Structure 1
Amino acid sequence: MTAAIVGAPAVAAHFWFRTRSDADERVLIVVPIVVVGLVGYLTFWAFFVHPVLGQLFSFAVPLTSWIAVVRLGRKSREHVRLGGLGLPALIAVGLGLFYLGVLYLPKLGHAYADQAAYRFVHDLPIDSVIPQIFGDRLFFKEPLRPFIVDWLSSDRPPLQAGLYLSVLPWLQLFHVPRQLGYECLGTQAQLLWVPAAWLLARALGLNRTRRTVALLVVGSVGFFLLNSVYVWPKLLAAAYVVLFALLILERSPHHERRVMILAGACAGLAWLAHGGVAFSLIALAPFWIAKLCPGWRRIPAGAITGLLLVIPWVLFQRFYDPPGNHLLKWHLAGVTAIDDRGVVETLRAAYSALSFDTWLAGKRYNLAVLFGGSFTEIFNIFTTPIKPRRIHEFFYLFRAMGLLNLAWFLWPAARSARNGTTRPNLSLRWTLVGWTLLTLALWILLMFEPGSTLLHQGSYAVMLVGCTLAVVILLEIPFWLSAIVLGWHFVYFSATWLPYTGSAKLNPGEFVVMGIGILLLAAAVKVARQLDRKHEALGA
């Protein structure tokens, strides 16, 4: 139900662009995703003004959207067809059902939205339900100040809270448990990484079949399973950042101003989802300006769009629930207490107490943390316990990529094994590598506390780009070698992340949910192959 509500304006936007015969696949995919974000953001502000206004908006948008879909379908059945967003949406639905089936397989006795905090790693904090608490406070007209424990309402950007509010009136109307609705909505929001990775694989030269396979491989990384169901809005933010990057780094022969407006919207929505993506946004700037900027006259359109989205939230932080810089001072200066000092003043005080040797030692430690965890356990799944493997993947960046790290060593073999099914975009590949490395460098340098470069405290765009690029490379090496590497990758994932080793009873119905998800993923592979064959038959 949540998918039908949140997805309604996205489907309407997609169909509308189809009727205009828009051939730019980026636009056909990015516009619906931007529309989803904008509707969620507007819903948040509608509820902030008054709960009645918010409910009217939440009911009106899906209803009018589905009416528009029906009218567009009758108007032009020739143009309104599966395409553009269709395949990545099918993959996202399949992965979502599979993930939720795995999540709820054991009957742990926790609330629906809390299950992910206990199912895989250990007792994770309340971060994943903060958007739900925020939304509930607005819906039931409860005070936002004080918020929860040492959190302010202004600490966590409002996008996912707004998306939750867009479905909450419907959940109440049909008596669906709020926790279940929030978990499903949150998982759908995080799964926006799927169309982002789809466009990334497309830009890197893969046809539809290989794009589909690539997404299945990325989806079988434990990091994406866990962070898709433990619904802190970090993958949501990463998806918008990757879309922003593709829009500004890939040259577009048509409608550049429109592309820049979309890019600005993606950047703004990324920031409104989670501030951790700031490292990626800052690192992207030099690549855009120095090498691939599409024209200085186009920049203001994107910049103004992003600012128009962000400014209302900045004003909320500054005037409604100040100071609004709590997390900045926490991560960049090591100050966890809430005070009235500005960021610059706090940074000056923190760094004035550090010697150069102490600072340098901290940066070295930050670098070392990226390579933490045991890599030998990737190949020794039969004697190593499951829980430590999961914990290492949760905390350490390169350990989370697992066997996909072999791609960096096998890249020369990929270059020598190209065939007619791909058209590698080497310039973009090296740009993505540079962007990722610069993001990591900024992360290492800017995080104040030594050892604070744990994976969950950074930009998830690094993992989204890194894993997708690694899989693209592994799909281009000789087939026998690719089969060995990816085959063991699936074995490791199945042995590490799917089992439940506790004493709770299992829910047999979740096997059905998982099975339906697998069938949808198999259907996606079949559809992709058919579309590629049709494309080849036309001689394109």
Structure 2
Amino acid sequence: MIAPVAYATEFLLLLAPGYAVARAVVRRSNFDLAATPLVAYAITALAGYAAFWIYLWNPLAGRAVSVGWIAAALVALVLLARGGFAREEALPLALTFLTGLFYLAVLYLPSTGIPAANRFFVLRPPDNIIPQLFAERLYLGLDPRHLFGDWLSSDRPPLQTGIQLLIRPLAFAPQYTDVVYEIAGAVAQLAWLPATWLLCVRAGLSPRGRALVLALAILSGYCLYNTVYTWPKLLAAAFSLGALVFALPAPRAGRVASFACAGICAALALLAHGGAVFFVFPAFALLAAARRLRLDRALALAVTSGVVLLVPWAAYQRFYDPPGDRLLKMHLAGIVPVDPRPAGRAIAEAYARTPPSEIVRNKLANVQTAFGAAPLMEAATMSEPLGPINVWRVREREHVTAALGVANLGWLALPWWWRRADRTARRSVGALLVLALCSTAFWSVALWGPGATVTTHGAYALVLILFVVLGAALAELPAPLQHTIAGLALADLVVTWIAGSLPDAARVAPSLDLLMLVLVPLAATAVGIALVRSAAEPQPAVVAAPPGDRRRTQVERPS
């Protein structure tokens, strides 16, 4: 019983203060009300980032901040309950909560507390608990440097560590520590869902199209796994999408506020996981090439906001726990052991000593892998049984095309959709497709290779925007075909990830948790109901009411 209660508690306590502030930001800036949950996540992340630095300075002061956040959450919950929720913000928030409940029920189906590293595969590296190890050392007042083995605390960004510290006091007994951290990490990763929702709204998808996009993403093993295996890659993806959306302000939105949010989200994405650079850089390069980034006060504020957030962490890496560049050397120069050289020099020397023909072969192999045309890397299948279901599960984890699952049928529907869609839809969805291709090209060239472009080495926002593109195309098919496609996605999830992974989980948890066995179908049904309700939603463009008007909204009907 502890897992569902703990999940509801942590979800509310983590997001409530940020949500209360987000409402004010959204109203004052005239953002879409659908942006409220993502803005709430951004405010929570900023608070967590501040908490990280306070804990590093003084653990007792950090604990006071955590207790203050929890107290603020209780007050915010009362205020939010009194104010009520507009439909446009309630639907994505409810869907996010219910999806998290479903995912955690699937995770804990063999046993509450089963490590996520053992749930779906025989064994995964401990990357998902690195934020936990970092946070725990800070909470206990220990030196966080030399985190474990030959890895440093500066090798990975600290955003999720800070978010988890906000509610660390909830783990008041040692037996609750792992569950509290797992659930807090999962709540953080769930930011991908309101971010994808907002992208669908800004791309002009119909409610039915948006519901199909989200159904295909929610029912993918890729999103399930990367939400509960709590490395902060979906968190980075969420803020990457946020940076893109806010860099293209809605007509009535304040340009300065929107660009400030874009800069903050871009920095938060990089502070969550460095792989976000493979999406953020191409996205802003394309915006600049399309002349969507005017040199004005709004852009200056966006750049300043991002730099202010990134500089402290760069200083931590450079001066407090140097060098903090091991992953750069590993992925961009193929250097796996600890290397004392500066990253720029190490990368330059790696290219200088490698024959050009080999470099070209490496990059071509990266392109093949990015499109799923290469075999799985040996490290990906190590210790895993080689049955077809197990191999497909690994592919859905590692390869972009496999991660999309049945959404790949959208490639067949895309030409037909293109001929039927109006100009606005073609422009928005077409731009996302171009961004996906540019991101893939940049990723393939930047990584050392060969065949390094597995999803775990890239920007998870790439997969999310492909769900949007392909879902938009599939949404124009007749309703029975859409329902069939969603049913196939559900079947893939059940066979490949829920039931198919139980033999691996049985190695550490041989029996099933009866409560979770009941909760899985109940939560899945609730998610389905939320998706159906969102598909039936009317499609006016809703923006926040002007300052001083608490609940009214301005509605623009399509002409």
Same fold flag (TM > 0.5): yes
Letter in 2 for 1:330: M
**Are positions 1:276 and 2:271 aligned together?**
no
Kindly provide the CA deviation profile for residues 482-537 of structure 1, in whole angstroms up to 9, marking residues without a partner as x. Answer: 34433323222222111023551111110232244224324423543564289999
Tell me which moved more, 89-98 or 331-340: 331-340
1:470 matched to which residue of 2? 470
2:439 matched to which residue of 1? 439
1:379 matched to which residue of 2? none
1:58 matched to which residue of 2? 66
Tell me which moved more, 353-362 or 234-243: 353-362
**Are positions 1:388 and 2:408 aligned together?**
no
Distance in 2, Cα, partners of 1:281 & 1:159? 17
Q: 1:360 to 1:535 in 2, by over 3 A?
A: closer
**Are positions 1:10 and 2:18 aligned together?**
yes
Q: 5+ unaligned residues in a row in structure 2: which ranges?
A: 1-8, 377-385, 543-554
Tell me which moved more, 487-496 or 462-471: 487-496
Letter in 1 for 2:144: L
**Post-superposition shift, 1:160?**
0.5
- 8 A Cα contact 1:287 1:431, kept in partner: no
**Post-superposition shift, 1:445?**
1.0
2:457 matched to which residue of 1? 457
- 8 A Cα contact 1:40 1:165, kept in partner: yes
Letter in 2 for 1:299: L
Letter in 2 for 1:445: V
Distance in 2, Cα, partners of 1:82 & 1:26? 9
Tell me how many residue pairs correspond in the alignment: 521
Distance in 2, Cα, partners of 1:534 & 1:446? 42
- 8 A Cα contact 1:96 1:517, kept in partner: no
Letter in 1 for 2:512: L
- 8 A Cα contact 2:219 2:490, kept in partner: yes
2:55 matched to which residue of 1? 47
For residue 105 of structure 1, give the secondary structure of its aligned residue in structure 2: coil
Distance in 2, Cα, partners of 1:413 & 1:22? 36
1:508 matched to which residue of 2? 514
Alignment of 1:91-102 (within 5 A): 91-102=95-106
Distance in 1, Cα, partners of 2:88 & 2:393? 35
User: Which of residues 399, 404, 407 in structure 2 aligns to 1:401?
Assistant: 404
Distance in 2, Cα, partners of 1:176 & 1:147? 22
- 8 A Cα contact 2:106 2:498, kept in partner: yes
For residue 247 of structure 2, give the secondary structure of its aligned residue in structure 1: helix
Letter in 2 for 1:505: S
Letter in 2 for 1:97: L
Q: 1:526 to 1:443 in 2, by over 3 A?
A: closer
RMSD between superposed Cα atoms in Å: 2.7
2:44 matched to which residue of 1? 36
2:380 matched to which residue of 1? none
Distance in 2, Cα, partners of 1:329 & 1:116? 28
Letter in 1 for 2:10: T
Letter in 2 for 1:50: N
Kindly provide the CA deviation profile for residues 416-463 of structure 1, in whole angstroms up to 9, marking residues without a partner as x. Answer: 556xxx995221212211111111111111111312112211111111
Tell me which moved more, 364-373 or 228-237: 364-373
**Post-superposition shift, 1:206?**
2.4
**Post-superposition shift, 1:348?**
1.8
**Are positions 1:524 and 2:523 aligned together?**
no
Distance in 2, Cα, partners of 1:23 & 1:267? 18
Letter in 2 for 1:96: G
Q: 1:519 to 1:175 in 2, by over 3 A?
A: farther
Letter in 2 for 1:100: L
Q: 1:388 to 1:6 in 2, by over 3 A?
A: same
Kindly provide the CA deviation profile for residues 352-374 of structure 1, in whole angstroms up to 9, marking residues without a partner as x. Answer: 11111111111121122221478
Kindly provide the CA deviation profile for residues 383-408 of structure 1, in whole angstroms up to 9, marking residues without a partner as x. Answer: 97321110121222212212212212
Q: 1:213 to 1:398 in 2, by over 3 A?
A: closer
Distance in 2, Cα, partners of 1:498 & 1:52? 42
1:490 matched to which residue of 2? 490
For residue 498 of structure 1, give the secondary structure of its aligned residue in structure 2: helix
2:6 matched to which residue of 1? none
Distance in 2, Cα, partners of 1:534 & 1:296? 32
Distance in 2, Cα, partners of 1:529 & 1:431? 24
- 8 A Cα contact 1:155 1:327, kept in partner: yes
2:136 matched to which residue of 1? 136
1:378 matched to which residue of 2? none
Tell me which moved more, 315-324 or 435-444: 435-444
For residue 516 of structure 2, give the secondary structure of its aligned residue in structure 1: helix
**Post-superposition shift, 1:338?**
2.7
**Post-superposition shift, 1:186?**
0.8
1:224 matched to which residue of 2? 223
Tell me which moved more, 291-300 or 3-12: 291-300
Kindly provide the CA deviation profile for residues 217-263 of structure 1, in whole angstroms up to 9, marking residues without a partner as x. Answer: 21111111111110100000000001101111355443100001100
TM-score (norm 2): 0.87
Kindly provide the CA deviation profile for residues 262-285 of structure 1, in whole angstroms up to 9, marking residues without a partner as x. Answer: 001100100000001111111112
**Are positions 1:88 and 2:59 aligned together?**
no
Tell me which moved more, 10-19 or 360-369: 10-19
For residue 404 of structure 2, give the secondary structure of its aligned residue in structure 1: helix
For residue 337 of structure 2, give the secondary structure of its aligned residue in structure 1: coil
Letter in 2 for 1:101: A
**Post-superposition shift, 1:294?**
4.8
Q: 1:533 to 1:362 in 2, by over 3 A?
A: closer
**Post-superposition shift, 1:480?**
4.1
Alignment of 1:168-179 (within 5 A): 168-172=168-172, 177-179=176-178
For residue 281 of structure 2, give the secondary structure of its aligned residue in structure 1: helix
Distance in 1, Cα, partners of 2:88 & 2:485? 30
Tell me which moved more, 211-220 or 136-145: 211-220
Kindly provide the CA deviation profile for residues 60-89 of structure 1, in whole angstroms up to 9, marking residues without a partner as x. Answer: 123234425535765xx4xx4233432111
For residue 145 of structure 1, give the secondary structure of its aligned residue in structure 2: coil
Distance in 1, Cα, partners of 2:90 & 2:102? 18
Letter in 1 for 2:104: L
For residue 124 of structure 1, give the secondary structure of its aligned residue in structure 2: coil
**Are positions 1:336 and 2:339 aligned together?**
no
Kindly provide the CA deviation profile for residues 10-55 of structure 1, in whole angstroms up to 9, marking residues without a partner as x. Answer: 2212443577694533653442121011011111111111111111
**Post-superposition shift, 1:176?**
6.6
1:153 matched to which residue of 2? 153
Alignment of 1:66-215 (within 5 A): 66-68=74-76, 70-71=78-79, 77=83, 80-107=84-111, 112=113, 115-172=115-172, 177-215=176-214
Letter in 2 for 1:25: L
Letter in 1 for 2:220: V
- 8 A Cα contact 1:98 1:517, kept in partner: yes
Tell me which moved more, 530-539 or 219-228: 530-539
Q: 1:525 to 1:360 in 2, by over 3 A?
A: closer
Give the share of equivalent positions with the same residue, in percent: 30
**Are positions 1:414 and 2:401 aligned together?**
no
